[in-house]
Amino acid sequence: MLWLLETSALRRMMHAQENFRDTAALLQWEAAQQQAELAQQHAAAEQRGGQYPPGMEVVGNTAEIRVEGVLTKRPDFWAKYFLGGNTTYSSIRNALGAAAASPDITDVILSIDSPGGNAEGLIETLETIAQFRQYSGKKLRARADNAQSAAYGIAAAAGHIEATGRGATFGSIGTAVSYYVSQNVITLTNTDSPDKRPDLTTDAGKAVVVKYLDQLNHEFVSAIAQGRGVALASVTEGYGRGASMTAAEAKRLGLIDNIATTAPRAVPSSKGTAMAEPQELDRAAQDAALQRGIAQERDRVLGHLTMGESSGDMKIALDAIRSGAGMTVELQARYMSAGMNRADRGQRQTESNKAEVQLAGVGAASPAESSTDLGDQVVSLLTSQQGERSFIRA
């Protein structure tokens, strides 16, 4: 899988996958998470009245599209629950389509907090952003706290980029792929297609992969250059060559346009007059922040209620709601454990019911038989029907 993702984020996601080896437990957990996700999306859609897609908030004439967490073509379980979030490329494109179609929206902000993501689906998204700028007639800009690799490409395609503060991070422009090479696997290709499965233990094999990465990266960097309105060489040579940087350095190199500053508060002087006038916060921004907070709290509560119902342990959910806890890894593990225990109890009850049905055909027990333990009766019955070897399991 090809990634345009900040290195440490990719390592954390791979580490999480490697340490979750119980396939059955993983499938149960993923199913519960998907159920919670669907419930949250349904509640959010009802709250919006079905007018705007998930990840998009509209206040007045301004639409804010959130681009958060690892970016992928499809929803990614590991990214969402181990890397702080997940945004799909299709959700970004859908939100831009809704903004373009709405006559009430005049301004669109891409609010970005992402280390980057998967290469698959990115180029199409960058093309959609370019078309939106060209044909929608609406103003588009990016505001970012963290925009690296694929996420920076999205910010650059939007045109104007504002950092939320001096601590914001940008860059990491490049394309990478990770392979696991096992000495126990032998791959052969037909004579005319040696590059279909290159031998990555050789320099020649690595060169084949790098050649493809160069092609993909050319498309990526070209979209950045187009969005920023600069020459291709300015990006390949002057935008950090794959390094990450703070907002100040990003502005110096031309990766962004400006850094947001916090307005000073009014401080009375010794003469009783204000040394600095407070800057009134934009009313629309306040309303947008309030709505985001309400939506996030609704999603948090609904997520815990859904997980509590799915796992069969509502006490965990209610305690988490009262304490204000988010969907942490520890709580997810508790939900998963409760769900597995519930499944085990259900299986034991099913087996017990089957045994009762079979015993019902034995008839009334004689006095001698009534003194026999019920478990012994079950074993005796199964032995007579199937043979002793058939029901004894390790």
| Residue 54 falls inside a structural domain | yes
Q: Do 188 and 169 contact (CB within 8 A), yes or no?
A: no
Domain CATH code at residue 211:
3.90.226.10
| Together in a domain, 386 and 239 | no
Spatial strand order in the sheet of 176-177: 86-88, 70-72, 116-118, 2-5, 176-177
| Together in a domain, 308 and 256 | no
| Together in a domain, 144 and 56 | yes
| Together in a domain, 142 and 214 | yes
Q: How far apart are CA 69 and CA 149, in angstroms?
A: 12
| Residue 52 falls inside a structural domain | yes
Token digits of residue 109: 């902000």
Q: How far apart are CA 287 and CA 58, in angstroms?
A: 10
| Together in a domain, 154 and 239 | yes
Per mean pLDDT, which of 48-62, 135-149, 187-201 is the most reliable? 135-149
| Residue 24 falls inside a structural domain | yes
Higher pLDDT, 367 or 105: 105
245-251 contact pairs (CB < 8 A, 24+): 245/169, 245/170, 245/171, 246/166, 246/167, 246/168, 246/169, 246/170, 247/163, 247/165, 247/166, 247/167, 247/168, 247/169, 247/170, 248/166, 250/163, 250/168, 250/170, 250/171, 251/163
| Residue 249 falls inside a structural domain | yes
| Residue 281 falls inside a structural domain | no
Residue 389 pLDDT > 80, yes or no?
A: no
pLDDT per residue as tens digits for the range 229-240: 999 999 999 999
| Together in a domain, 191 and 337 | no
Higher pLDDT, 58 or 20: 58
Higher pLDDT, 227 or 187: 227
Structural domain count, the chain: 2
Higher pLDDT, 311 or 344: 311
DSSP structure class, residue 196: G
| Together in a domain, 26 and 124 | yes
User: First-to-last CA distance in the chain?
Assistant: 40
Going by pLDDT thresholds of 50, 70 and 90, the confidence category of residue 322 is confident
| Together in a domain, 242 and 339 | no
| Residue 287 falls inside a structural domain | no
Look up the domain containing 86 and give its range: 2-262
| Residue 280 falls inside a structural domain | no
| Together in a domain, 258 and 320 | no
384: Cβ–Cβ under 8 A, 6 or more apart, which residues? none
| Together in a domain, 41 and 184 | yes
Angle CA(246)–CA(3)–CA(150) in degrees, nearest 5?
45
| Together in a domain, 88 and 227 | yes
pLDDT at 178: 76
| Together in a domain, 59 and 115 | yes
| Residue 271 falls inside a structural domain | no
- How far from 132 is each of 158, 187, 191, 371, CA to CA, in Å? 9, 45, 46, 82
